Amino acid sequence: MVFSKFRSSVSELLKPLGLFLAKHGAKPWHMTLIGFSFSILFAYLALAKYLLLTPVFLLLAGFFDVLDGLVAKVSNKVSLSGAYLDSMVDRLSDIVIYAGFFFLGFDMFIVFLATSLTLTLTYSKARLENLGIREPRISLFERSDRIIVLTFILILYIVNSSLSYAAFAIYTVALTIIVTLRLITGYMDLRK
């Protein structure tokens, strides 16, 4: 989607920050855990109904998700264990973020469905990579894309909660379509 296409440009733009952090002792896992902490704070703020702060903390969680990989690259600390930790914490973060939407009053079934679809989407990519498909044909709604769309839905919630509920439902339908397409194209690619 939008952000994923510009991820390398954004990474290049943030490279000086990554170098600064690495030079001053920041480790990739520090960024991972800080990002996860912002996800937890987002869910708490949603529960406490501090609406104006929720988009900020959601974006901060996404920002640190970008930083952890960047710090790993610029400090030459890319590792299998780090990639595993990042992936697992990202999934936990996704669950916590969706819990925040539930706390705001979004429909429980739709939130559960969005959570399940997100976990399925990320699992399908990892499984396809494990089976030799380097990049799935359908790679929409990567984590950064989801964070941006969910932030927009949060801002909409502050302005008009009914519209945000509808936007979240549309987002969930889009996730359903993408997961279905990923399933079909992944299956076809593996049969070749």
Q: Cα angle vertex 102, ends 84, 121, to 5°?
A: 35
Catalytic residue chosen out of the listed positions 65, 68, 86, 90: 90
90 is catalytic: yes
Closest by CA position to 73, among listed 119, 38, 28: 28
The pair of structure tokens assigned to 105 is: 């009053």
CA distances to 95, 174, 184 from 54, in Å: 16, 23, 36
Residue with tokens 């901060």: 60
- Give catalytic residue positions: 90
